[in-house]
Amino acid sequence: MKTKLTIAMIGCGRFADFFVPLFKAHPEVAKVYVCDIRGERAEDYSKRHNVEIIESFETALASPEVNAVAIFTERQKHGPMVIEALKAGKHVYSAVPCSISIDEIREIERLVRETRLTYSMGETGYYRAATLFCREKFAKGEFGNFVYAEAQYNHDIRNMEESFKSSGGDRWREYAGIPPMYYPTHSTSMILSSMPGVYATSVRALGYVSTERTDIYGTDGQNLYGNPFGNTAMLLTLSNGGIARVSENRNVGWKAPETYISQFYGTNAGYEFSVAKHYFAHWDSERPGKVKMNDVTERLTPPEVNKLVNTDFARAIQEIADGAGFFDFSPIQDGKRLPESFRGLHNGHNGTHHYIIDDFCKAAATGKLSPTNIWEVARYNIPGLIAHQSALQGGIVMDIPDLGVKPADWDVIDPYDFEYNQK
Ligand SMILES: NC(=O)c1ccc[n+]([C@@H]2O[C@H](COP(=O)([O-])OP(=O)(O)OC[C@H]3O[C@@H](n4cnc5c(N)ncnc54)[C@H](O)[C@@H]3O)[C@@H](O)[C@H]2O)c1
C-alpha cells in the first residue's frame, strides 16, 4: 500500500534550497512545507518555491497532515531532531551526518526497528560516479578480493566560513570547529557502499593539530568540542580483511572534486583517480605479468567536462577545481530509474541529488528501506566518531561498534529498478 507524502522541510539554509523543487516534483509527494527558526528564510523559500510555511518543527511533528520531515538543520542538530521526529511517528529524511553521537545513532536504529518508519540519510557519496563504478566492478567480481582503498573529503574551512557565519552568528567558531571525523560519511560511504555488507571493525586515527586556524581549532574553548584537529586521517580494518584509509581535511590546500576515491584495489584489478582522469587496470589475460590499463574517464565524467578534458587538459583541471560538472550527471548515472518529473530539474554534488531524494520518497511511500537506511549509514558514521577518540589518544587502535544488519523481512528498494516509473 502506497501513501502519498506530506513533507515538512526543516531548515531553509543554503543546502535545502536545492531540494525543494525535487521533493515538490516527486510523484509520491502530495505537499511540501518549509520551516526555519529564522522566519525570513522560510519566507524567502516560500516565495521562490511557491510552498507554504509551517510554523515550527514542533508544529510539524504535531500535525496529523504531515507524515514526513526532511531535516536540513546544522550538522550537530540532526541526531536529536531525527529521534524526536521518529517518536512523533514521522518518516525522516536527514542531511548528513546521521549524528555526532553513537548513543543517538543507536536510538535512531532502535526507533526505526520498532516503528518501521522510513529513515534515509541523503548521502551524496552513495551515488557518485566513482562509487557506482567500483560497486559495479566489485559486484561483477572484476576486482577479485578487496585489498585497499583510499577516500577523502577535502573541504577547507575557508570555503565553509560564510555558511557557518550565516547561521552561527557571533558564535560561529563554536560550531565550525567540529571534529572533521564527526562528518566522515561522504568518504566512508564511497568505499563501503562499493562492497555491500562490508563494514569497518577497528580504527587507528591521527589528527593534524591546526596551527593556522587557532581561531577555530583548539582546546581552549573556541569550539564546543575541544577539538584541536583541522584534519584527521584514519586507517580502518574492514570485515572482509581489507584496509581503508579515509581522510577528512578542513585545513588543506586542495579543492574539488571534494569527495573522491583516489584508489580502490583488489587482487585482480584496481581503480585510480586524480582531478580529471579515472583509470581501471587489471591483469592482462593475453600478456602474462602485464597489466591492461583502461581510461574510464568518459563514463565517469559529465560529457561537457569530458570534452574539455580531451581538448584542453590544463583548462579542464582548473574548471573542475572551480566546480565544473558539479550539477551534471555522468554517463554511469544514467538517470533511467528516476521519475520523469525530475527531468531538467537542478541537480548537484556531481549528479547525486536526484537519486537521494528519489530513494527517500520511494522508500517512504512503499514501506521498503532506502539503500541509505540506518543500518547502512551507522556503518558510514560510527567509524569517524571512534576515529576522533583514537586521534585524541595519539592514534590508539580502537574497536568499532556495529549495529548489525536490517531486519530480514524488510526489503531495500532496488536502486537499479528502471521499471519503477511504469508501475
Ligand atoms: N553533500 C552533502 O550531503 C551536503 C552538502 C552541504 C550541506 N550538507 C548538510 O546539510 C545541512 C544544512 O547545511 P546548510 O549549509 O544549509 O546549513 P545552514 O546553516 O545554511 O542552514 C541550516 C538552517 O537550519 C535552520 N534551523 C536550525 N534549527 C532549526 C529548527 N529547530 N527549526 C527550523 N529551522 C532550524 C537554521 O536557521 C538555518 O537556516 C548540514 O547538516 C550539512 O551538513 C550536506
pLDDT at 416: 76
Tell me, in angstroms, the distance from the centre of ligand 1 to residue 147's CA. 36
Check pocket membership of 55 for ligand 1, CB cut-off 6 A. no
Interval 311-355: pLDDT, tens:
999 999 999 999 999 999 999 999 899 999 999 999 999 999 999
Interval 177-199: pLDDT, tens:
999 999 999 999 999 999 999 99
pLDDT at 251: 95
Check pocket membership of 244 for ligand 1, CB cut-off 6 A. no
Taking the C-alpha atoms of residue 278 and residue 132, their distance in angstroms, rounded to an integer, is 13
pLDDT at 423: 54
Q: Residue 299: which residues within 8 A CB-CB, separation 6 or more?
A: 129, 133, 278, 330, 331, 332
CATH of domain 126-332+373-399: 3.30.360.10
Taking the C-alpha atoms of residue 359 and residue 254, their distance in angstroms, rounded to an integer, is 31
Burial 71-91 (b: 16+ CB within 10 A, else e): bbbeebbbbebbbbbbebebb
pLDDT at 2: 62
pLDDT at 418: 64
pLDDT at 257: 87
Tell me, in angstroms, the distance from the centre of ligand 1 to residue 34's CA. 13
Beta-carbon neighbour count of residue 319 at 10 Å? 18
Task: Indicate whether 417 pLDDT > 80.
Answer: no
Q: How confident is the model over 393-403, as a mean pLDDT? A: 98
Alpha helices in 63-184 (DSSP H): 78-87, 102-115, 129-139, 161-168, 172-176
Q: Whose CA is nearest to atom 19 of ligand 1?
A: 167
Q: Do domains 5-124+408-422 and 126-332+373-399 have the same CATH topology?
A: no
Check pocket membership of 76 for ligand 1, CB cut-off 6 A. no
Average pLDDT of the chain to the nearest whole number: 96
Percent of the chain with pLDDT over 90: 94
Q: How confident is the model over 369-396, as a mean pLDDT? A: 98
**pLDDT grade for 414, boundaries at 50, 70 and 90:** confident
> Residue written as cell 535512531?
108
Q: Whose CA is nearest to atom 11 of ligand 1?
A: 72
pLDDT at 422: 53
Show the beta-strand stretches assigned E in 252-411.
259-266, 269-274, 277-283, 291-295, 398-399
- For the chain, which residues make up each domain, given as ranges? 5-124+408-422, 126-332+373-399
Indicate the pTM of the whole model. Answer: 0.97
Interval 276-286: pLDDT, tens:
999 999 999 99
Check pocket membership of 15 for ligand 1, CB cut-off 6 A. yes
Domain 5-124+408-422: what homologous superfamily? NAD(P)-binding Rossmann-like Domain (3.40.50.720)
pLDDT at 280: 98
* Helix, strand, or coil (residue 332): coil
Give the DSSP letter string of 27-94.
Answer: TTEEEEEEE-SSHHHHHHHHHHHT-EE-S-HHHHHH-SS--EEEE-S-GGGHHHHHHHHHHTT-EEEE
Tell me, in angstroms, the distance from the centre of ligand 1 to residue 12's CA. 7
Rg (CA), the chain: 21
- Which amino acid is residue 229, in one-letter code? F
Check pocket membership of 94 for ligand 1, CB cut-off 6 A. no
Q: Whose CA is nearest to atom 43 of ligand 1?
A: 75
